[in-house]
Amino acid sequence: MSAYLRLRAVPPPALRNSATWLERLFEDDSATVRHRVVRHREEVLDGRYLDQERIYAGVSPHRAADRPQAQVVLGGRPVPRADPRKPQLLVLTAAQARRVARFLTTADFDALWFFARDELLPRYGGARAEPETWGAFITGHRELTAFYTRTADCGEAVVKWLPARGT
């Protein structure tokens, strides 16, 4: 299993409350996924997704309240799975995706970074590596902003494929 978090835009009428149906959304080959990423129909976050969440939530990811900034990466309604070792599936409604898009487009990334940097920098090489680390996270922020803005403009929901713990 991959340590990547995938987010996919889905038209609300097509959305199903079935783990099997939602899982099929993520069965495409890598070329198809890349095409959707370029079109801002899907976003893929690398293993730093928990730290990206830390930047938005302002607290450790698992203690964040259900507010737009906490929904950016890990938020959403979980869809029950029979096998807890399988990746978790989360769903944000179209209204929630609009709130997240609004948050991302108005957020002051530098202020968010300043609040989280002391906790994050030691994991990425310390203060000397801050320019590169900041660059990686601002790139992720821009990609998420583009994805959620496009999704909100289309009035779509978001389905997230969260890697199983320990993968």
Tens of pLDDT along 104-117? 999 999 999 999 99
Ordered alpha helix ranges (H), the chain: 19-24, 30-38, 49-57, 68-71, 94-106, 109-120, 130-153
| Rounded distance between C-alpha atoms, residue 75 and residue 159, angstroms | 10
| Buried residues in 13-29 as b, exposed as e (16+ CB within 10 A) | eebeeebeebbebeeee
Average pLDDT over residues 94-99: 95
Locate 88 and state its tokens. Answer: 């978790």
- Taking the C-alpha atoms of residue 25 and residue 13, their distance in angstroms, rounded to an integer, is 15
Tokens of 131: 């320019």
Lowest mean pLDDT across 17-21, 45-49, 156-160: 17-21
Longest dimension (CA), the chain: 49
Q: Does the pTM of the predicted model rise above 0.75?
A: yes
